[in-house]
Amino acid sequence: MFPLLGASIFLIVILALYFSFKSRGKHADEESESSLISASLFAISSFDGKLLYSEIISAANNFDSSCCIGKGGYGNVYRVELSSGDIVAVKKVHPLRADEVRAAKEFQNEVMACIEIRHRNIVKFYGFCWSAEQSFLVYKYLEKGSLATNLSNEEAGKELDWEKRVNIIKGVANALSYLHNDCSPPIVHRDLSSNNVLLDAEFEAHVSDFGTAKLLNPDSSNWTNLAGTYGYVAPELAYTMKVSEKCDVYSFGVLTMEVIMGAHPGDLISTLPSSSLEMRLLVNDVLDQRPLPPSTDVQDKLESVMEMACMCLAENPHSRPTMYAISQLLAS
């Protein structure tokens, strides 16, 4: 746990430049843009944590509701424009004085998960502050907001054509494959939903919100409390409470159907077809009508994607594919 929990002293950790140098050799192609953004962003502080803390509080109008761009059970997200001209997303953690241990655990989860993660389809993490007065995390600001917001908006739904939607599904698959296979220990997100997928100006997907993430330690049981968003949680968690990568696979299946349908699939999950013919008929019936109709090639791709989503939604977690297999399938 954080040693300063409940103390009046606040902690600012400037992580961006450290991340850039550490990751340069391994992810140089992905990090060139990030390192430039990070260097510019934190130049305002001259590595003075108190100055940066005050700058963020001031720029957010002390976290006034007019700056709020998203709300959740764990914290609200604010669009903050700094004096340097940089725009960041700041997640302010709700003050849970009656349950500080839980609040600290969720905050620590998100920080620990984000420290080592560097992937183009995962929202970039700049740093954090933990204090008795204000606690927040600083991320790259993504212009288009959440996938949920775009799908629920009529005009944005039209703008999300089928090529963009397939690319969003690919991006999320790549992010989850990275978390499950390229992180050590593997990371299970546990709360994948359309609210936790953010879109940049080019509609590229970025997975966010690691407050309930679980690091799969091979030396522990990986049993946990139930977490996640209703409608996306794998059914086995209701009775086993054991986390595995297949929990994220199930959530990904729900999300994939949501992207294709334009809305959460709801009860349709329990009546999914098993044959290819039935699958083709289902795609025609549930396809979001707001974008222009897909071409024949794209229609075939959507049918394959929907079939893959059905595999992800298998009741038996052992019958679900891995995210690596899914990402490879989508890339082919």
Task: Dump the DSSP string for 253-283.
Answer: HHHHHHHHHSS--GGGGGG---SHHHHHHHH
H/E segment holding residue 75: strand 75-81
Whole-number pLDDT of residue 97 = 54
Please give the C-alpha separations between residue 1 and each of 53, 108, 190, in angstroms, as whole numbers. 22, 7, 21
Q: Are 216 and 185 in contact (CB under 8 A)?
A: yes
CA pair distance 331, 245, nearest whole angstrom = 20
Does the pLDDT of residue 108 top 80, yes or no?
Answer: no
Whole-number pLDDT of residue 96 = 57
pLDDT tens-place string over residues 88-104: 999 888 765 555 666 67
Whole-number pLDDT of residue 84 = 83
Q: How much is the pTM? A: 0.81
pLDDT (mean) for 240-247: 86
Binding residues for ATP: 92
Q: Are 227 and 190 in contact (CB under 8 A)?
A: yes
- Whether 191 is a known active-site residue: answer yes
Whole-number pLDDT of residue 43 = 40
Of 152, 150, 151, the closest CA to residue 142 belongs to 150
Whole-number pLDDT of residue 71 = 79
Tokens of 275: 């044959």
DSSP string computed for 186-252: -EE-S---GGGEEE-TT--EEE---TT-EE--TTS--B----S-TTTS-GGGGTT-B--HHHHHHHH
Whole-number pLDDT of residue 177 = 98
Whole-number pLDDT of residue 313 = 95
Lowest mean pLDDT among 66-70, 85-89, 207-211, 270-274: 270-274
Active-site option among 86, 191, 209, 248: 191
Q: Are 326 and 253 in contact (CB under 8 A)?
A: no
pLDDT tens-place string over residues 262-289: 999 998 998 887 776 777 778 888 999 9
Confidence of residue 228 (pLDDT cuts 50, 70, 90): low
Ordered structural domains, the chain, with CATH: 11-140 (3.30.200.20), 145-331 (1.10.510.10)
CA pair distance 200, 141, nearest whole angstrom = 8
H/E segment holding residue 317: none
Whole-number pLDDT of residue 194 = 96
Binding residues: 92
